[in-house]
Structure 1
């Protein structure tokens, strides 16, 4: 869950995009690039002292911005990957990933060159030209930036896959084999495997089993999170147990009739057809 901060004076609430674990990871990521920048700064200082030259700390610091720029552009890289994952899949996703890495590298070096150009105009009487700086950075640091962004992409994919596996295992462990249904003063435990489908009727849900219909006060959005993966939402008002589906019949307009094994006919909306893609479609 993300952190929330409230300012008492204005009643303004700010919600952090990071949870505690992600915040520690991000701070560690920032600290790493700051350490690399300071390490190279120290190397420059030792080099100038050994060679008997004057140490220009301002100029040296400006070149260390190359490392610090990995912080914001890594976030841009991740944002690009998340957008791409929603739009493309398969081999096309790998091609898009390569383009995102390449674009992040070029933009990084271009922004770095523009910053150096601005600093050069402030501290030098004869500043370096922007074209020269862009050419120099592309010729000397392109391979380095490209390699780093490629490694960051690999780490992001590995981390994402690991989190997905952990979430899947965690989700499987939280599923209950029964649902608690209150009928007046009585409490009934309904076996999840017996549920054929669930329909929404306003604030209430109709849970259909082989022998009976149970009515509970709940929402489809909440109850589907407590059900295993074989329960799919096929309509804004319907959840179905795919183990009890017999066949699908197209309506010719993108919607389908879902024929259940008990003879019931439900509607699969085109907006929810992705739920059964690869299973029946």
Structure 2
């Protein structure tokens, strides 16, 4: 599928990834692939694959892992402007692929993402696959644990359902199956949020902890650790500390967000067997 050309000098052309059309379960999506080593599925936050999302994917790739970055919504590579991002958010909220409202149900798109994990494992080999979801896609990494190849789930500011601060976007049966697998295979779920995030609340993390017990390993970053000048979508529409490894990350030594990023990448490398060597291919 041909992408709309960049319209802003701050857009990312994603030229250092290979844009592939991947068909799974009869559905074709563009997936940006790059790197070598075990596979990690990185799922973008609202409003899509922004330059900051691509930057995080490059950090993962530089650690000796293969990144699969599926296009799920928005214009790929677009700088997150406020009104354009708001429109992407509105469309996703009414899309049949996502369950933005109502707890206890999983989004249909998660089935395709599980198939992508299996496909990526078949291509890359290794012990298994990692996945990281953010915001709108935050919980998908947990649901993807129903795929046996999935070994390393990371939930960054999981924000669905939007109408239940203490709700979980997964069906009870799937949640029970995931918990049973985590216990049986001695696996854990990593999760990250900022204090004061009104989309991913303390109540939601408490609900995960109640459901998953010690298999749920959470990190809560102080609100004042967030980048105070994120792109317009995040400053005007989101309006709170939110995006741990992207828009609200401060890329400087000693910053809590950089420590979180490094911890996440270390977790992926340890579980999947990447090299862990930070190559200089991030721009």
Same fold (TM over 0.5): no
Higher strand proportion: 1
Give the TM-score, by structure 2 length.
Answer: 0.24
